[in-house]
Chain A
Amino acid sequence: MTSALIYALTGAALFLIGVAGLILQPHLLRKIIGFNIMASGIFLVLVGLGQREGSVDPVSQAMVLTGIVVSVAATALALALARRLLDLTGKMRLPGSGEGMPGKKPDA
Protein backbone atom coordinates (compact mmCIF):
# COMPACT_ATOMS: atom_id res chain seq x y z
CA MET A 1 0.00 0.00 0.00
CA THR A 2 1.83 3.09 -1.21
CA SER A 3 0.74 6.64 -0.49
CA ALA A 4 -0.19 7.04 -4.17
CA LEU A 5 -2.65 4.17 -3.82
CA ILE A 6 -4.14 5.76 -0.68
CA TYR A 7 -4.79 8.92 -2.74
CA ALA A 8 -6.53 6.88 -5.41
CA LEU A 9 -8.68 4.98 -2.90
CA THR A 10 -9.62 8.23 -1.16
CA GLY A 11 -10.50 9.66 -4.57
CA ALA A 12 -12.83 6.73 -5.29
CA ALA A 13 -14.53 7.24 -1.91
CA LEU A 14 -14.93 10.98 -2.59
CA PHE A 15 -16.36 10.22 -6.02
CA LEU A 16 -19.06 8.02 -4.52
CA ILE A 17 -19.87 10.53 -1.76
CA GLY A 18 -20.37 13.04 -4.59
CA VAL A 19 -22.57 10.63 -6.57
CA ALA A 20 -24.73 9.93 -3.51
CA GLY A 21 -25.05 13.67 -2.81
CA LEU A 22 -25.94 14.38 -6.43
CA ILE A 23 -28.75 11.80 -6.34
CA LEU A 24 -30.03 12.19 -2.79
CA GLN A 25 -29.98 15.96 -2.25
CA PRO A 26 -32.89 17.77 -3.92
CA HIS A 27 -31.47 21.28 -3.39
CA LEU A 28 -29.62 22.37 -6.54
CA LEU A 29 -26.76 24.04 -4.68
CA ARG A 30 -26.09 20.76 -2.89
CA LYS A 31 -26.25 18.90 -6.19
CA ILE A 32 -23.63 21.27 -7.62
CA ILE A 33 -21.44 20.75 -4.56
CA GLY A 34 -21.88 16.98 -4.95
CA PHE A 35 -20.85 17.29 -8.58
CA ASN A 36 -17.70 19.14 -7.49
CA ILE A 37 -16.86 16.50 -4.89
CA MET A 38 -17.22 13.87 -7.65
CA ALA A 39 -14.81 15.81 -9.84
CA SER A 40 -12.27 16.21 -7.03
CA GLY A 41 -12.43 12.47 -6.41
CA ILE A 42 -11.73 11.74 -10.06
CA PHE A 43 -8.76 14.13 -10.06
CA LEU A 44 -7.36 12.41 -6.99
CA VAL A 45 -7.73 9.00 -8.67
CA LEU A 46 -5.96 10.26 -11.81
CA VAL A 47 -3.07 11.84 -9.93
CA GLY A 48 -2.82 8.95 -7.45
CA LEU A 49 -2.79 6.18 -10.03
CA GLY A 50 -0.46 8.27 -12.21
CA GLN A 51 2.30 8.17 -9.60
CA ARG A 52 1.68 4.62 -8.46
CA GLU A 53 5.10 3.46 -9.60
CA GLY A 54 7.05 6.08 -7.75
CA SER A 55 7.62 8.61 -10.52
CA VAL A 56 5.16 11.41 -11.21
CA ASP A 57 3.29 11.10 -14.51
CA PRO A 58 3.19 14.58 -16.11
CA VAL A 59 0.47 13.52 -18.56
CA SER A 60 -2.10 12.74 -15.88
CA GLN A 61 -1.10 15.89 -13.99
CA ALA A 62 -1.71 17.97 -17.12
CA MET A 63 -5.08 16.25 -17.64
CA VAL A 64 -6.08 17.05 -14.05
CA LEU A 65 -5.02 20.67 -14.48
CA THR A 66 -7.24 20.83 -17.56
CA GLY A 67 -10.04 19.12 -15.66
CA ILE A 68 -9.91 21.53 -12.72
CA VAL A 69 -10.35 24.53 -14.97
CA VAL A 70 -13.17 22.88 -16.92
CA SER A 71 -14.95 21.94 -13.69
CA VAL A 72 -14.74 25.55 -12.52
CA ALA A 73 -16.36 26.61 -15.79
CA ALA A 74 -19.04 23.92 -15.51
CA THR A 75 -19.77 24.98 -11.93
CA ALA A 76 -20.16 28.61 -12.97
CA LEU A 77 -22.53 27.64 -15.77
CA ALA A 78 -24.49 25.37 -13.42
CA LEU A 79 -24.82 28.20 -10.89
CA ALA A 80 -26.04 30.56 -13.61
CA LEU A 81 -28.63 27.99 -14.73
CA ALA A 82 -29.71 27.35 -11.13
CA ARG A 83 -30.16 31.05 -10.55
CA ARG A 84 -32.19 31.36 -13.74
CA LEU A 85 -34.40 28.51 -12.52
CA LEU A 86 -34.80 30.34 -9.21
CA ASP A 87 -35.83 33.49 -11.11
CA LEU A 88 -38.37 31.58 -13.18
CA THR A 89 -39.88 29.20 -10.63
CA GLY A 90 -38.83 30.55 -7.25
CA LYS A 91 -37.48 27.12 -6.36
CA MET A 92 -33.95 25.82 -6.03
CA ARG A 93 -34.90 22.32 -7.06
CA LEU A 94 -35.59 20.59 -10.34
CA PRO A 95 -39.25 20.39 -11.37
CA GLY A 96 -40.59 16.93 -10.55
CA SER A 97 -38.14 16.22 -7.74
CA GLY A 98 -38.96 16.15 -4.06
CA GLU A 99 -42.50 16.09 -2.71
CA GLY A 100 -45.18 15.51 -5.34
CA MET A 101 -44.69 17.00 -8.79
CA PRO A 102 -44.80 20.77 -8.28
CA GLY A 103 -43.53 21.47 -11.79
CA LYS A 104 -46.34 19.59 -13.54
CA LYS A 105 -49.16 22.13 -13.35
CA PRO A 106 -47.86 25.44 -12.05
CA ASP A 107 -50.98 27.58 -12.55
CA ALA A 108 -53.93 25.23 -12.85
Chain B
Amino acid sequence: MKGVLDLLVIVLCLVLGAALWWAMLDLPSSRIHLAEQVAAKLDASGVTHPVTAVLLNFRGYDTLIEVMVLFVALIGMLTQAEKGSQWLSAGYRPPPLPAPPFHLEVLQWLARVLVPLMILTAGYLLWAGAHRAGGAFQAAALLAGAGVLLNLAGLLPAWTTFRAGMRAGSITGLLFFVLAAAATAAAPHGHLLQYPAGWAGMLILLIETGLTLSLGLILAGFFLLLSAEASDGSDTEE
Protein backbone atom coordinates (compact mmCIF):
# COMPACT_ATOMS: atom_id res chain seq x y z
CA MET B 1 0.00 0.00 0.00
CA LYS B 2 2.72 2.45 1.03
CA GLY B 3 4.80 1.49 -2.00
CA VAL B 4 1.85 2.21 -4.29
CA LEU B 5 1.28 5.60 -2.68
CA ASP B 6 4.97 6.50 -2.99
CA LEU B 7 4.90 5.52 -6.65
CA LEU B 8 1.79 7.65 -7.15
CA VAL B 9 3.55 10.67 -5.60
CA ILE B 10 6.56 10.18 -7.87
CA VAL B 11 4.37 9.81 -10.97
CA LEU B 12 2.37 12.94 -10.07
CA CYS B 13 5.60 14.89 -9.51
CA LEU B 14 6.90 13.77 -12.91
CA VAL B 15 3.62 14.81 -14.57
CA LEU B 16 3.73 18.20 -12.86
CA GLY B 17 7.39 18.56 -13.86
CA ALA B 18 6.58 17.81 -17.48
CA ALA B 19 3.76 20.37 -17.40
CA LEU B 20 6.05 23.02 -15.87
CA TRP B 21 8.78 22.36 -18.42
CA TRP B 22 6.29 22.52 -21.27
CA ALA B 23 4.87 25.80 -19.92
CA MET B 24 8.34 27.34 -19.59
CA LEU B 25 9.49 26.24 -23.04
CA ASP B 26 6.30 27.68 -24.50
CA LEU B 27 6.33 30.94 -22.54
CA PRO B 28 5.79 34.03 -24.70
CA SER B 29 8.16 36.89 -24.02
CA SER B 30 6.96 39.29 -21.36
CA ARG B 31 5.24 42.48 -22.38
CA ILE B 32 6.19 44.29 -19.18
CA HIS B 33 9.83 45.28 -19.07
CA LEU B 34 10.55 45.92 -15.42
CA ALA B 35 14.28 46.27 -16.01
CA GLU B 36 13.67 49.26 -18.30
CA GLN B 37 11.29 50.87 -15.80
CA VAL B 38 13.89 50.48 -13.06
CA ALA B 39 16.64 51.89 -15.29
CA ALA B 40 14.46 54.88 -16.20
CA LYS B 41 13.91 55.85 -12.55
CA LEU B 42 17.33 54.84 -11.20
CA ASP B 43 18.55 58.44 -10.99
CA ALA B 44 15.79 59.30 -8.53
CA SER B 45 16.42 56.31 -6.25
CA GLY B 46 19.46 57.65 -4.41
CA VAL B 47 21.63 54.64 -5.31
CA THR B 48 23.15 53.47 -8.58
CA HIS B 49 22.76 49.71 -8.21
CA PRO B 50 19.38 48.57 -9.59
CA VAL B 51 18.87 45.68 -7.13
CA THR B 52 19.46 47.94 -4.12
CA ALA B 53 17.18 50.55 -5.68
CA VAL B 54 14.39 47.96 -5.97
CA LEU B 55 14.97 46.52 -2.51
CA LEU B 56 15.08 49.73 -0.52
CA ASN B 57 13.30 52.28 -2.65
CA PHE B 58 10.91 51.06 -5.36
CA ARG B 59 9.71 48.06 -3.37
CA GLY B 60 10.85 49.13 0.08
CA TYR B 61 7.63 47.88 1.65
CA ASP B 62 8.53 44.31 0.61
CA THR B 63 11.81 44.61 2.47
CA LEU B 64 10.08 46.18 5.47
CA ILE B 65 7.67 43.25 5.72
CA GLU B 66 10.50 40.79 5.15
CA VAL B 67 12.36 42.15 8.17
CA MET B 68 9.15 41.79 10.18
CA VAL B 69 8.93 38.15 9.05
CA LEU B 70 12.48 37.56 10.28
CA PHE B 71 11.65 39.13 13.60
CA VAL B 72 8.47 37.05 13.97
CA ALA B 73 10.48 33.90 13.21
CA LEU B 74 12.93 34.83 15.97
CA ILE B 75 10.06 35.41 18.42
CA GLY B 76 8.57 32.07 17.37
CA MET B 77 11.86 30.34 18.14
CA LEU B 78 12.09 32.00 21.54
CA THR B 79 8.53 31.00 22.50
CA GLN B 80 9.25 27.40 21.53
CA ALA B 81 12.17 27.38 23.87
CA GLU B 82 10.67 28.98 26.89
CA LYS B 83 8.43 26.16 28.11
CA GLY B 84 9.72 22.98 29.65
CA SER B 85 13.36 22.89 28.83
CA GLN B 86 15.91 24.77 30.85
CA TRP B 87 17.06 26.42 27.65
CA LEU B 88 16.83 30.20 27.94
CA SER B 89 15.42 30.03 31.46
CA ALA B 90 16.68 32.76 33.76
CA GLY B 91 19.57 31.82 35.95
CA TYR B 92 20.66 28.87 33.85
CA ARG B 93 24.41 28.95 33.41
CA PRO B 94 25.86 27.12 30.45
CA PRO B 95 28.65 24.70 31.23
CA PRO B 96 32.06 26.23 30.53
CA LEU B 97 33.49 25.50 27.13
CA PRO B 98 35.62 22.35 27.25
CA ALA B 99 39.30 22.60 26.38
CA PRO B 100 39.44 22.37 22.60
CA PRO B 101 40.58 19.06 21.19
CA PHE B 102 43.73 19.14 19.12
CA HIS B 103 41.94 19.01 15.77
CA LEU B 104 40.19 22.30 16.55
CA GLU B 105 43.40 24.28 16.96
CA VAL B 106 43.78 24.97 13.26
CA LEU B 107 40.12 26.00 13.05
CA GLN B 108 40.52 28.31 16.04
CA TRP B 109 43.58 29.95 14.53
CA LEU B 110 41.72 30.32 11.25
CA ALA B 111 38.66 31.78 12.98
CA ARG B 112 40.79 34.33 14.82
CA VAL B 113 42.29 35.45 11.53
CA LEU B 114 39.11 35.32 9.49
CA VAL B 115 36.54 36.92 11.79
CA PRO B 116 38.08 40.43 11.81
CA LEU B 117 38.34 40.20 8.02
CA MET B 118 34.70 39.08 7.82
CA ILE B 119 33.58 42.07 9.88
CA LEU B 120 35.64 44.37 7.66
CA THR B 121 34.16 42.78 4.54
CA ALA B 122 30.64 43.15 5.98
CA GLY B 123 31.27 46.88 6.33
CA TYR B 124 32.51 47.02 2.76
CA LEU B 125 29.50 45.07 1.43
CA LEU B 126 27.14 47.44 3.24
CA TRP B 127 28.84 50.45 1.66
CA ALA B 128 29.20 48.81 -1.77
CA GLY B 129 25.47 48.04 -1.95
CA ALA B 130 24.83 51.58 -3.20
CA HIS B 131 26.66 51.05 -6.49
CA ARG B 132 27.29 47.33 -7.01
CA ALA B 133 26.28 43.89 -5.73
CA GLY B 134 26.11 44.02 -1.94
CA GLY B 135 23.92 45.53 0.72
CA ALA B 136 22.44 44.98 4.14
CA PHE B 137 21.42 41.36 3.72
CA GLN B 138 24.78 40.19 2.40
CA ALA B 139 26.60 42.11 5.12
CA ALA B 140 24.31 40.71 7.81
CA ALA B 141 24.78 37.17 6.51
CA LEU B 142 28.53 37.65 6.74
CA LEU B 143 28.29 38.96 10.32
CA ALA B 144 26.09 36.02 11.30
CA GLY B 145 28.54 33.68 9.54
CA ALA B 146 31.35 35.11 11.66
CA GLY B 147 29.32 34.29 14.78
CA VAL B 148 28.67 30.74 13.58
CA LEU B 149 32.35 30.24 12.76
CA LEU B 150 33.37 31.42 16.25
CA ASN B 151 30.81 29.06 17.80
CA LEU B 152 31.92 26.06 15.75
CA ALA B 153 35.57 26.77 16.57
CA GLY B 154 34.67 26.72 20.26
CA LEU B 155 35.51 30.39 20.83
CA LEU B 156 31.96 31.73 21.33
CA PRO B 157 29.52 29.89 23.61
CA ALA B 158 26.00 29.33 22.34
CA TRP B 159 23.41 31.84 23.46
CA THR B 160 21.47 30.43 26.37
CA THR B 161 19.69 33.69 27.05
CA PHE B 162 18.52 36.41 24.77
CA ARG B 163 19.38 39.35 26.94
CA ALA B 164 17.81 42.82 26.90
CA GLY B 165 20.73 44.27 24.95
CA MET B 166 20.37 41.64 22.25
CA ARG B 167 16.61 42.12 22.14
CA ALA B 168 17.11 45.86 21.71
CA GLY B 169 19.80 45.32 19.07
CA SER B 170 17.69 42.93 17.07
CA ILE B 171 14.73 45.34 16.89
CA THR B 172 16.67 48.60 16.27
CA GLY B 173 16.94 48.15 12.50
CA LEU B 174 13.27 47.31 12.13
CA LEU B 175 12.21 50.21 14.40
CA PHE B 176 14.24 52.70 12.39
CA PHE B 177 12.82 51.31 9.15
CA VAL B 178 9.24 51.57 10.49
CA LEU B 179 9.97 55.10 11.71
CA ALA B 180 11.25 56.10 8.27
CA ALA B 181 8.17 54.53 6.66
CA ALA B 182 5.84 56.34 9.04
CA ALA B 183 7.62 59.65 8.54
CA THR B 184 7.46 59.41 4.75
CA ALA B 185 3.80 58.40 4.87
CA ALA B 186 2.91 61.24 7.26
CA ALA B 187 4.75 63.95 5.30
CA PRO B 188 2.53 66.26 3.23
CA HIS B 189 1.88 64.67 -0.20
CA GLY B 190 4.01 61.75 0.98
CA HIS B 191 3.49 58.07 0.33
CA LEU B 192 4.77 55.11 2.28
CA LEU B 193 8.57 54.89 1.82
CA GLN B 194 8.64 57.55 -0.87
CA TYR B 195 11.79 59.34 0.20
CA PRO B 196 11.96 63.13 -0.21
CA ALA B 197 14.14 64.20 -3.14
CA GLY B 198 17.80 64.48 -2.22
CA TRP B 199 17.41 62.45 0.98
CA ALA B 200 17.00 59.02 -0.57
CA GLY B 201 20.69 58.04 -0.61
CA MET B 202 21.27 59.07 3.01
CA LEU B 203 18.08 57.42 4.26
CA ILE B 204 18.85 54.17 2.42
CA LEU B 205 22.35 54.09 3.92
CA LEU B 206 20.99 54.68 7.44
CA ILE B 207 18.26 52.05 7.05
CA GLU B 208 20.75 49.56 5.65
CA THR B 209 23.20 50.16 8.49
CA GLY B 210 20.49 49.51 11.07
CA LEU B 211 19.32 46.45 9.17
CA THR B 212 22.85 45.04 8.92
CA LEU B 213 23.34 45.12 12.68
CA SER B 214 19.87 43.83 13.54
CA LEU B 215 19.74 41.16 10.86
CA GLY B 216 23.26 40.01 11.76
CA LEU B 217 22.08 39.55 15.34
CA ILE B 218 18.84 37.81 14.29
CA LEU B 219 20.52 35.49 11.79
CA ALA B 220 23.27 34.63 14.27
CA GLY B 221 20.55 34.02 16.85
CA PHE B 222 18.88 31.48 14.57
CA PHE B 223 22.02 29.37 14.83
CA LEU B 224 23.39 30.21 18.26
CA LEU B 225 20.06 29.86 20.08
CA LEU B 226 19.41 26.47 18.48
CA SER B 227 22.91 25.22 19.22
CA ALA B 228 22.43 26.22 22.87
CA GLU B 229 19.70 23.66 23.27
CA ALA B 230 21.80 21.00 21.61
CA SER B 231 24.66 21.45 24.03
CA ASP B 232 22.49 21.00 27.13
CA GLY B 233 20.34 18.27 25.61
CA SER B 234 22.40 15.58 27.33
CA ASP B 235 21.10 16.41 30.82
CA THR B 236 17.65 14.93 30.50
CA GLU B 237 14.75 16.15 32.57
CA GLU B 238 13.90 13.79 35.40
Is the beta-carbon distance between B66 and A70 smaller than 8 angstroms?
Answer: yes
* B residues near A13, Cβ cutoff 8 Å: 17
Is the beta-carbon distance between B226 and A69 smaller than 8 angstroms?
Answer: no
Q: Is the interface of B mostly helix, strand, loop or mixed?
A: helix
Q: A74 with B51: in contact, given A52-B29, A57-B35 (CB under 8 Å)?
A: no
Is the beta-carbon distance between B229 and A83 smaller than 8 angstroms?
Answer: yes
The segment out of B80-88, B156-164, B173-181 that lies at the interface is B80-88
Q: Which residue of A lies closest to B215 (CB)?
A: A69
Say which residue of A19, A49, A61, A69 sits within 8 Å of B51 (CB atoms): A61
Q: A59 with B77: in contact, given A53-B29, A66-B55, A72-B219 (CB under 8 Å)?
A: no
Is the beta-carbon distance between B222 and A20 smaller than 8 angstroms?
Answer: no
Would you list which residues of chain A between 68 and 94 have a CB under 8 Å from chain B?
A: 68-70, 72-74, 76-77, 79-81, 83-84, 87-88
> With the chains together, A76 CA to B24 CA distance in Å?
32
> With the chains together, A87 CA to B218 CA distance in Å?
24
Q: Which residue of A lies closest to B65 (CB)?
A: A66
Q: Which residue of A lies closest to B78 (CB)?
A: A80
Is the beta-carbon distance between A58 and B50 smaller than 8 angstroms?
Answer: yes
The segment out of B6-14, B90-98, B103-111 that lies at the interface is B6-14
Q: Which residue of B lies closest to A57 (CB)?
A: B35
Is the beta-carbon distance between A58 and B20 smaller than 8 angstroms?
Answer: no
Q: Which residue of B lies closest to A1 (CB)?
A: B25
Is the beta-carbon distance between B222 and A76 smaller than 8 angstroms?
Answer: yes
* B residues near A45, Cβ cutoff 8 Å: 24
> With the chains together, A87 CA to B85 CA distance in Å?
8
Interface bits B128-146 vs A (CB < 8 Å: 1, else 0): 0000000101000100000
Chain B residues packing against A (C-beta within 8 Å) = 6, 9-10, 13-14, 16-17, 20-21, 24-25, 27, 29-30, 34-35, 38, 50-51, 53-55, 58-59, 62-63, 66, 69-70, 73-74, 76-77, 80-81, 84-85, 135, 137, 141, 215, 218-219, 222-223, 225-226, 229
Of all A-B residue pairs in the complex, the 3 with the closest CB atoms, nearest first, are A76-B222, A58-B50, A73-B73
Besides A23-B9, A52-B27, A55-B35, 19 other CB < 8 A contacts? A9-B24, A49-B24, A52-B30, A57-B34, A57-B35, A58-B38, A58-B50, A58-B53, A62-B54, A63-B62, A70-B66, A73-B69, A73-B70, A76-B77, A77-B73, A80-B76, A81-B80, A83-B226, A87-B85
